[in-house]
Amino acid sequence: MSSTWNYIFRRVLYLIPVLLGVCFLIFFLFNVVAGDPTGILLGKHATASQMAELREQLGLNKPLIAQYFDVVKSAFTFDFGRSWATKQQISQMIAQGAIPSLSVTLPGFFLATVVSILLATIVAYFRGKGIDLFIRILTIAMMSISSLVYIMVFQWLFAFELGWFEISGFEYSFPEVMPYITLPIIIWIVLSLGPDTRFYRTLILDEMYQDYVRTARAKGVSEKKILLKHVLRNAMIPIITYTVVQLPFLLLGSILLESFFSIPGLGNMVINALNASDFPVLKAITVLSAVAYIVFTLVQDILYTVVDPRVKLK
């Protein structure tokens, strides 16, 4: 246990310069490459004095090194200032938007992962047989259809024609929220099943052709026991890598789903910020995504040791 905590401590120290470098890239993109946004905010008829006054209000007249340390400070304190468009505290906007986004993405991601691994295990067990061929053809067909088609058809059939779900909106209380998020969750699962099932099937089949599997078969171990006890466990390392890497991006929600279902999540907030040239909001989302990604890479390494004791944290 002490070695684990020592490893975590060293990784946290290692992540600090990584985060400083990421903050520099974000600062360079938004504060240097993007140029002076006051002309966009004030319009083409703005005078030089108006632009200078707004630049001072927004803190854009500060030295570049001070603006860089503002980005670094926001990454460690999560204090992102105020939105240029709404004048609200950005941290409060993110907290409010994270609830609708995660209400859709977390259950959708969890259910899609479980179902995909289950289907991949089934087709790997019956590899080369009819059910394997059927599911492979089905997943390819599902991947060939645009996500917009799924959204529009599901909205028309299940929300408009059958009236089972709401077409748009959101409620912050449970279970009142369920009619608003169930259909987006179903669409998320349908969109994920194709690529995820094919990917997990490949991982499991790669393990099934390893030497230890042939040895187990030679010893008379049943195919089902080999698959469930040995193959799946060894396949968990790449599965964890694939799933954990996606977790930070769940916070951003789904821009398409939130737009079509009018869900007030972070995906919608990003769209509104882009339309309004609200750089502080865009910068805050970028910083938050980078921090989340860095943290989850550490979580990923720790999970490796949980599923495979052979992996040592050094």
| Range with the poorest average pLDDT among 37-41, 197-201, 216-220 | 37-41
- What is the Cα–Cα distance from 214 to 226, expressed in whole angstroms? 10
Residues 253-269 have a mean pLDDT of: 84
- 184-196 pLDDT, tens digit per residue, is 999 999 988 888 9
- 62-79 pLDDT, tens digit per residue, is 888 888 888 888 888 888
What is the average pLDDT score of the chain? 82
Type of residue numbered 93: M
Q: What is the pLDDT of residue 187?
A: 92
- What is the Cα–Cα distance from 161 to 178, expressed in whole angstroms? 18
Torsion sign across C-alpha atoms 273, 277, 280, 283: positive
Residues 305-310 have a mean pLDDT of: 62
- Domain boundaries along the sequence of the chain: 2-77, 100-307
Do 279 and 37 contact (CB within 8 A), yes or no? yes
CATH of domain 100-307: 1.10.3720.10
| Range with the poorest average pLDDT among 21-25, 88-92, 178-182, 225-229 | 225-229
Per cent of the chain over pLDDT 90 is: 7
Q: Decide: pTM greater than 0.95.
A: no
Query: What are 169's two structure tokens?
Result: 């909106």
Q: What is the pLDDT of residue 6?
A: 77
Q: What is the pLDDT of residue 44?
A: 67
